[in-house]
Amino acid sequence: MLMPARKVLWVCLLVYLPHSAMAALDGPNQFLKGIKIISYSLLVEKTVGGNGCNIDQDNLNTSIQFVANQSTNLKIVPYEQRLDRSSELYKQSDTPSLSSAEKEAAKKVARDYLLMPGFYIIIAPLQTQGGCAAEISAKLNAYIEEDAHIHMIPTQAVVYGAMFEIWAKGYGLVYPQQTFSNQVINATEQIMKQLVNDWAASQE
């Protein structure tokens, strides 16, 4: 959640952004190569500073789902589907008729599905005296194999279930209240499309 100091910082920053600003480089990424499926989740935080800069979340969810469905080579599934399907795969791996080797292979399939890379999008709206602003941050995280222990610096504590950020992008937006929701939705769509484009470029 945006704190007051962060709100002031955003206002100062966004004064210089007539429409939008985007961070992160586009193009091939070695960590995207070979990935076949990812999940995505979408979080819209409560608007700071008032109630006039709301985002149509039904329209947002529908639009992002549409973009995800258009991606054929890189499969993009909702986070809830990831959990449901992995649960089904784990149950199938315990089928009594399977041999020990088949059960182990089936459990690996279930584990790999559960631990697929996750795409997380967070939208933080802000109401200002001059209109509406938002910070949109998106990142794709992948789990790290725990064959070797991973230690946190400086305490050297062992980290379990560690994740690594392999792609990220962010927008800062300022728009009038009347067009704010649509512009946020459009920007979020563009972020997912950029991920798909970068993924495609990384497979060459």
Max distance between CA atoms of the chain, in angstroms, equals 67
In whole angstroms, what is the distance from residue 10 CA to residue 51 CA? 18
How many folded domains does the chain comprise?
1
Task: Say which range, 4-13, 80-89, 151-160, has the weakest mean pLDDT.
Answer: 4-13
In a domain, 95, yes or no: no
Contact 29, 196 (CB under 8 A): no
For the chain, what is the mean pLDDT?
86
The per-residue pLDDT for 152 is 78
Region 169-185 average pLDDT: 94
Residue 68 has pLDDT above 70, yes or no: yes
Take residue 150 and report the two structure tokens written for it.
Answer: 């991973």
Show Cβ contacts of residue 112 under 8 Å, excluding neighbours closer than 6 positions. none
- Give the pLDDT band (50/70/90) at residue 171: confident
Q: Which structural domain range is residue 66 located in?
A: 4-72+119-202
In a domain, 179, yes or no: yes
Residue 107 has pLDDT above 50, yes or no: yes
Show Cβ contacts of residue 157 under 8 Å, excluding neighbours closer than 6 positions. 151
Strands 158-159 and 150-151: antiparallel
Residue 28 has pLDDT above 60, yes or no: yes
The per-residue pLDDT for 27 is 79
Number of alpha carbons in the 13 Å side-chain half-sphere of residue 10: 26
Take residue 62 and report the two structure tokens written for it.
Answer: 């529908």
Residue 153 has pLDDT above 90, yes or no: no
In a domain, 77, yes or no: no
In whole angstroms, what is the distance from residue 32 CA to residue 199 CA? 6
In a domain, 79, yes or no: no
In a domain, 83, yes or no: no
In a domain, 17, yes or no: yes
Region 62-69 average pLDDT: 96
| This prediction's pTM | 0.82
In whole angstroms, what is the distance from residue 18 CA to residue 24 CA? 19
In a domain, 38, yes or no: yes
The per-residue pLDDT for 148 is 62
